[in-house]
Chains A and B, each alone.
Chain A
Amino acid sequence: QQQVKQSPQSLIVQKGGIPIINCAYENTAFDYFPWYQQFPGKGPALLIAIRPDVSEKKEGRFTISFNKSAKQFSLHIMDSQPGDSATYFCAASNYAGGGNKLTFGTGTQLKVEL
């Protein structure tokens, strides 16, 4: 059972555009939602994370929007650059329940063109 659904599978935007990646979860026990960026042959790198007590969080050019009632969250990348071309994964975990094992989405391949 896929507990975190991610879309789109791939995305192409022009430099300066704002790609948006969406995720939906099913497990209401999830209380921590990070986003990771992964380049080919590398491990995932933590970008930004949000807790369900806030609806939005910004760090630099990255923004997470969170809708608890809809069980959805999304990543926005402002002023996207070619160097942002990578695979992005959303994830979720139950931190309060202990363990904090991450359940990942299937990933979005982003390409930012000049």
Chain B
Amino acid sequence: DTGVSQDPRHKITKRGQNVTFRCDPISEHNRLYWYRQTLGQGPEFLTYFQNEAQLEKSRLLSDRFSAERPKGSFSTLEIQRTEQGDSAMYLCASSSSGVFGFGEQYFGPGTRLTVT
């Protein structure tokens, strides 16, 4: 399977703990996006990378959140000092920035975070 993969699929943590999620994009895609989806809502943009450069961050991404994409391959999203409001599905998507398309974004299965 050559789709977007995310790990772990589920994470339960206690308030105040740090968590880290990983996303492996489709191999030929140079853009990688993180979104957050709460129950009954559409995904909300958090941040995106082109290759290894983080080009945009949403105001939703507080100082407790940090994302990296070393070497322009996989990406990690870390949440420090988790709060109950961080409970959500964290989605990763990847795309190309090709001239011939509109950079269709393909999503992974998501990581479901529950903060107790």
Contact = CB atoms under 8 A, between A and B. Distances in A.
A61 interface: no
A26 B95 CA distance: 25
A107 B102 contact: no
A99 interface: yes
Nearest to A32: B102
Interface of A is mostly: loop
A91 B102 contact: no
Given A43-B107, A46-B104, A107 B33 contact: no
A103 B108 contact: no
B42 A106 contact: yes
Contacts of A36: 107
Interface stretch (B11-19, B43-51, B61-69): B43-51
A43 B48 contact: no
B8 interface: no
B3 to A, nearest CB: 9
Given A44-B91, A91-B42, A99 B55 contact: yes
A43 B102 contact: no
A103 B46 CA distance: 11
Most buried by A among B4, B55, B93, B105: B105
Contact of B43 (A32, A41, A44, A99): A44
Interface of B: 4, 31, 33, 35, 40-45, 48, 55-56, 91, 93, 95, 97, 102-110, 112
10 contacts: A42-B110, A44-B91, A46-B105, A46-B107, A89-B43, A91-B42, A98-B55, A101-B56, A103-B45, A107-B40
